């Protein structure tokens, strides 16, 4: 079942200007070390940050809170599988909120997709609850 959905559109040029103006202060407040390493290694640094910014906004919306109620930017982080597929990780208050909204006997799965077409970066997040399979108690 779907527990929440969220989307966000970020302007890459605005993120580039924010990076230029605030530098590490902005990076360290919003992005984890892993996210920073990924962005700084890319040709399109600002675009990479903008997609992750949008993903955090989209995730906070899917959690039903937006960026309030104690949620922190760094409570949500995007990494990539070896295939390149983005993966959203939640910690802190975001993880608490996810646990609270997940029905008993279910596990939460966060799906995230990112895209950009200069000057826009977009993210879409769907939070799914999957039933946890009961262990097979039948003997063969």
Model pTM score:
0.91
Structural domains for the chain:
2-131 (3.90.470.20)
CA-based angle 93:33:28, to the nearest 5? 75
What is the pLDDT at residue 138? Answer: 64
CA atoms within 13 A on the CB side of 11: 4
What is the pLDDT at residue 69? Answer: 66
CA distances from 113 to 5, 26, 58, 134 (A): 12, 23, 10, 30
Q: CA 97 to CA 90: how far, in whole Å?
A: 10
Q: What average pLDDT is seen over the chain?
A: 94
What is the pLDDT at residue 123? Answer: 98
What is the pLDDT at residue 71? Answer: 79
Q: Which two tokens stand for residue 94?
A: 């975001």
Q: pLDDT digit string (tens) for 5-47?
A: 999 999 999 999 999 999 999 999 999 999 999 999 999 999 9
Q: pLDDT digit string (tens) for 45-81?
A: 999 999 999 999 999 999 998 777 667 899 999 999 9
pLDDT over threshold 80, residue 109 = yes
What is the pLDDT at residue 75? Answer: 95
Range 105-126 average pLDDT = 98
């Amino acid at each position: 079942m779907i527990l929440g959905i969220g989307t966000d559109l970020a302007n890459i040029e605005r993120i580039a200007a924010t990076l230029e103006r605030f530098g590490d202060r902005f990076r360290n407040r919003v992005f984890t070390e892993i996210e920073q390493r990924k962005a700084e290694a890319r040709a399109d640094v600002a675009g990479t940050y903008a997609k992750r910014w949008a993903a955090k906004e989209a995730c906070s919306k899917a959690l039903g809170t937006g960026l309030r109620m104690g949620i922190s930017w760094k409570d949500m982080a995007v990494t990539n599988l070896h295939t390149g597929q983005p993966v959203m990780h939640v910690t802190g208050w975001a993880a608490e909120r996810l646990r609270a909204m997940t029905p008993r006997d279910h596990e939460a799965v966060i799906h995230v997709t990112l895209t950009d077409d200069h000057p826009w970066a977009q993210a879409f997040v769907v939070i799914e609850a999957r039933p946890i399979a009961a262990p097979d108690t039948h003997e063969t």
